[in-house]
Amino acid sequence: MYVNNVILVGNLTSDPQLVENDNKVVNFRLAVNRWRKPPSESEGEEVKERTEFIDVECWGGQAENVNRSLQRGDRAIVAGQLKYERWNDAEGAPRSKVRIKAHAIGPSLEFQAIDR
């Protein structure tokens, strides 16, 4: 059995864009940060950070909920399937990208202040 499922946590880089045709779809881009320590653990060396930008799509009622609930800068958790897309640009050069077809999206409360 093959499983194609990923879970990402990141920040929306823009407001979700809802498109309504026969079905509703929302698209947005998620900025996901990765940290790694340098090969040597000597003092004075900083942890390196790298940001990946991942396109996300979701459909139907969930698309409407995401469009109403999330906005640029919000931290979100996205679970879904990886989709690898390939095409040729206007000059004929091959292009590709990875997209997530989300089945679950929600706000991340990791860095939220708790007022009690």
Residue 50 lies in a domain: yes
Residue 54 lies in a domain: yes
For the segment 74-83, the average pLDDT, to the nearest whole number, is 93
Residue 86 lies in a domain: yes
Residue 49 lies in a domain: yes
Number of H helices, E strands in the chain: 1, 6
- Supply the pLDDT for residue 91: 93
Residue 41 lies in a domain: yes
Residue 115 lies in a domain: no
For the segment 89-100, the average pLDDT, to the nearest whole number, is 92
Number of C-beta neighbours around residue 44 at 10 A:
5
18-55 confidence digits (pLDDT tens): 998 888 999 999 999 887 666 666 566 676 778 999 99
Question: CA-CA-CA-CA torsion for 29, 81, 35, 41, nearest 10 degrees?
Answer: -170
What residues form DSSP beta bridges with 86? 96
More confident residue, 71 or 46: 71
Domain of residue 41 covers: 6-107
Q: Structure pTM?
A: 0.77
Query: What is the count of structural domains for the chain?
Result: 1
Residue 102 lies in a domain: yes
Domain harbouring 11, CATH code? 2.40.50.140
For the segment 82-108, the average pLDDT, to the nearest whole number, is 92
How large a percentage of the chain has pLDDT more than 90?
62
Residue 48 lies in a domain: yes
